[in-house]
Amino acid sequence: MGLLSGLENIGMGGLSEVKIFEDEKSKVEAAQKKKKEQVELREEDFIFDKTYKCPVCDKEYKVRTVRTGKVKLVGSDSDLRPRYQFDTLKYDAVTCPYCGYSVLTRYFNINPTSGQMKLLRENVCRAFKGIDEPGDIMTYDDALTRHKLALLCSIVKRGKASEKAYTCLKMAWLLRGKSESLPANTPNLEKVRKDLAEQEKEAITNAYEGFTEAFSKENFPMCGMDEVTVTYLTAELARKIEKYDDALRLCARVITAKNVNDRIKEKARDMKDRIYEATGRKES
């Protein structure tokens, strides 16, 4: 017998056993279950094969691609590396399996000029021996190979400094992601992480040099970013490779810029504080 017994006569018998107060333990368990389900998402469920037509050899091919809008952004690093539920950055290079032409998705619709086509065919396509197809998902090694090929193609075709810089930046992010994803039982784990950190620093150095060159030669927006965002990004890259004077100079440009949202100004102030803390300097 319960407080709600006797309601059968008016048709409420099926609800006579409901709990008067929710079980807090059950609520916690349900929330934990939901969180676990979110963590255990299957990367392959967010991937599909998209068809591309190579502008260099005119052949069609399929590339693993992330379903737009399906993966949630969960944060970002100080150098603007986005963090999603899984590392979508692995899928950001489009590589032709027939001729080797590779480019970041951002630049795919910008067809190479006839002169660039000639350079690519003579220096990349002629030497290309094929590339292994990825499995259901793209591994970091798969992604890095394709990004390296994209960087090589941008060098060979004499692409813009910003394109080369942006490709180097993406490579740095991938190397960081690979390091973070290494299993605890990886042989020589600390050495592997050290090697990846050195490679990441090399990629960041080249990204910094490329963006610095692009400032004097190219117009904004650049790589989909406005001038203040690129200035902040270049400052953070300078900080990471310990070019502190350059970083502080660029930080000052962000902080004093007009019509800029407070969020990026605050990030620039935080960067400046980290530099002062790292160097023992005092703000003048």
Tens digit of each residue's pLDDT (9 = 90 or more) over 60-105: 999 999 998 889 999 999 999 999 999 999 999 999 999 999 999 9
Do 54 and 167 lie in one domain? The reply is yes
How high is the pLDDT of residue 89?
97
For residue 189, count other CB atoms closer than 10 A to its CB.
Answer: 13
This prediction has a pTM of 0.85
Range 207-217 average pLDDT: 97
In a domain, 92, yes or no: yes
Asked if the structure places residue 3 within a domain, the reply is no
pLDDT confidence bin for 168, thresholds 50/70/90 = very high
Identify whether 85 is part of a domain.
yes
- Are both 59 and 153 inside the same structural domain? yes
Full domain range(s) for residue 274: 225-284
Query: Do 206 and 232 belong together in one domain?
Result: no
- Residues 128, 48, single domain; the answer is yes
Residue 63 lies in a domain: yes
* Same domain, residue pair 206 and 163: yes
197 assigned to some structural domain: yes
First to last CA, the chain: 78
Q: Is residue 25 part of a domain?
A: no
CA-nearest of 105, 106, 172 to 140 is 172
Within-domain flag for 21: no
Whether the per-residue pLDDT at 4 is higher than 70: the answer is no
- Locus of tokens 């952004």: 73
Strands (E), the chain: 47-53, 60-66, 73-76, 82-84, 93-95, 102-104
Query: Is 242 inside a domain boundary?
Result: yes
Are 249 and 196 within one domain?
A: no
Q: What is the pLDDT of residue 187?
A: 96
Token pair of 73, please?
């952004």
The mean pLDDT value for 249-278 works out to 94
Asked if 210 and 256 sit in the same domain, the reply is: no
At 49, the pLDDT band (50, 70, 90 cuts) reads: very high
Q: Are residues 238 and 204 in the same domain?
A: no
Rounded distance between C-alpha atoms, residue 143 and residue 261, angstroms: 34
In this structure, the answer to whether residues 94 and 194 fall within a common structural domain is: yes
Identity of the amino acid at 10:
I
Domains: count for the chain: 2
Per DSSP, the three-state class of 10 is: helix
Residues 157 and 67 in one domain: yes
Q: Do 91 and 177 fall within a single domain?
A: yes
Examine the domain organization and report whether 84 and 127 are in the same domain. yes
